[in-house]
Amino acid sequence: AQSVTQLDSQVPVFEEAPVELRCNYSSSVSVYLFWYVQYPNQGLQLLLKYLSGSTLVKGINGFEAEFNKSQTSFHLRKPSVHISDTAEYFCAVSQPTSGTYKYIFGTGTRLKVLA
Amino acid sequence: EAGVTQFPSHSVIEKGQTVTLRCDPISGHDNLYWYRRVMGKEIKFLLHFVKESKQDESGMPNNRFLAERTGGTYSTLKVQPAELEDSGVYFCASSQATGAAKAFFGQGTRLTVV
Please tell me whether residue B68 adopts helix, strand or coil conformation: strand
Low-confidence ranges of chain B (pLDDT < 70): 1, 97-101
Whether residue A43 and residue B33 make contact (CB cut-off 8 A), yes or no, is: no
- Interface residues from chain B to A (CB-CB < 8 Å): 3-4, 31, 33, 35, 40-45, 48, 55-56, 91, 93, 95, 97-108
Q: Which of B40, B91, B98 sits opposite A44 (nearest CB)?
A: B91
What are the φ/ψ torsions at residue B113 (nearest 5 degrees)? -105, 125
Strand partners, B89: B37, B110
pLDDT value at residue A97: 65
Q: Do the chains contact at B42 and A105, CB–CB below 8 Å?
A: yes
Nearest CA in chain B to A34: B102
Q: Which long-range contacts does A109-112 make (Cβ < 8 Å, 24+ apart)?
A: A109/A6, A109/A8, A109/A9, A109/A10, A109/A11, A109/A21, A109/A22, A110/A9, A110/A10, A110/A11, A111/A11, A111/A13, A111/A19, A111/A21, A111/A81, A111/A85, A111/A86, A111/A87, A112/A10, A112/A11, A112/A12, A112/A13, A112/A86
In order along its 115 residues, chain A shows pLDDT tens digits of 789 999 999 999 999 999 999 999 998 788 889 999 999 888 899 999 998 888 999 999 999 999 999 999 999 999 999 999 999 999 999 877 655 678 899 999 999 999 9
Nearest CB to B31 within list A100, A104, A108: A100
* Per-residue pLDDT, B21: 98
Give the CA dihedral B28, B32, B37, B43, nearest 10 degrees: -90
- Cα(B79)–Cα(B19) distance, rounded to whole angstroms? 5
Radius of gyration of chain B (CA): 13
pLDDT at site B76: 98
pLDDT recorded at residue A1: 75
The contacts of residue B41 (CB under 8 Å, 6+ apart) are A107
- Cβ atoms < 10 Å from Cβ of A11: 16
